[in-house]
Chains A and B, each alone.
With several copies, the nearest count.
Chain A
Amino acid sequence: MSYAPVELSIPAEHRYLNIIAACIGDLLAREEGLVEPAITTYNIQLAVQEISANIVDHAYGAASGRIAITMQVLCQPHRMVIQLLDTGVAFNPASVATPDLDEIHEGGYGLFLARSLLDDLSYNTRPDGNIWRLTKRLDV
């Protein structure tokens, strides 16, 4: 089934990012027909955590601002789509390479994790801000 979106807006600070995960968890807790629901939920939560932490650290940096999130379960195919809008600095995600996993690094795993755990990750700069769009299939 498809549902109307849930909208959330939080201050762009690390202390609020767990709220996004909580919303995703409770939204998916009442969704039927998920394959590996616990793993899928965790993976979506981690991908969103990485993207939103990057918004706080890199798009806003020392500046303050907000993150507007919309979350929606859609059908055909059965999937969850999450959009995150910020008004921080724009950047080019294509410039970020996959980390060399045979070496250990103190950072640089965020985008790699988000890309690995999602079915699609897109980024666009619009007049109203930068928008991340995360898509995760729920039925595969």
Chain B
Amino acid sequence: MEITVHNHIVQIAVVTTDSRIDAFSAPKLRERLDALVAGGANRFVIDLSAVPFIDSAGMAVLVSLLKKARVADGEVVLVWPNEEAARRILRLTKFDRVFPMADDVESALIASTR
């Protein structure tokens, strides 16, 4: 009897911050995410739960990551911000229809491996 065991490892980069994501800080976030993509990462959970504010420059960074991740057969799951006003902006711009959304990191990780 020959038995083959194949260990399939799915690596997911969980990115968390409690800072404003705006035109000032977005370039730093983009740089960090680009470095992860360059290192081979293609599955991401962006934990926005503690983010107090996100502007369109910050949202552009998320879209840029999504495009790169999907080209590499990956995915970007967003964890909803706790800040209700920020949630409404993600709905207004229909970002919640394009990104898989999760209520917390745990469910985001489950969604990422599906």
In the complex they form, do A and B come into direct contact, defined as C-beta atoms under 8 angstroms apart? yes
Chain A positions near chain B (C-beta within 8 angstroms)? 14-15, 17-18, 21, 30, 38-39, 42-43, 45-46, 49-50, 53, 56-57, 101-102, 104-107, 109-110, 112-113, 116
What would be 15 A-B contacts, judged by CB atoms less than 8 Å apart? A17-B23, A39-B88, A50-B56, A53-B23, A53-B55, A53-B56, A57-B23, A104-B63, A104-B95, A106-B60, A107-B60, A109-B60, A109-B93, A112-B93, A116-B92
Query: Smallest distance from the beta carbon of B70 to chain A beta carbons, Å?
Result: 10
* Count of residues in B whose CB is under 8 Å from the partner chain: 25
If over half of A's interface residues share one DSSP class (helix, strand or loop), that class is named, otherwise mixed; here it is helix
Please name the residue on chain B nearest to A53 by beta carbon: B23
Chain B at the A interface: SS class: helix
- CB of B36 within 8 A of chain A? no
Asked if residues A104 and B89 are in contact (CB atoms below 8 Å), the reply is no
B binding-site residues for A, Cβ under 8 Å: 20, 22-24, 53, 55-57, 59-60, 63-64, 66-67, 83-86, 88-89, 92-95, 98
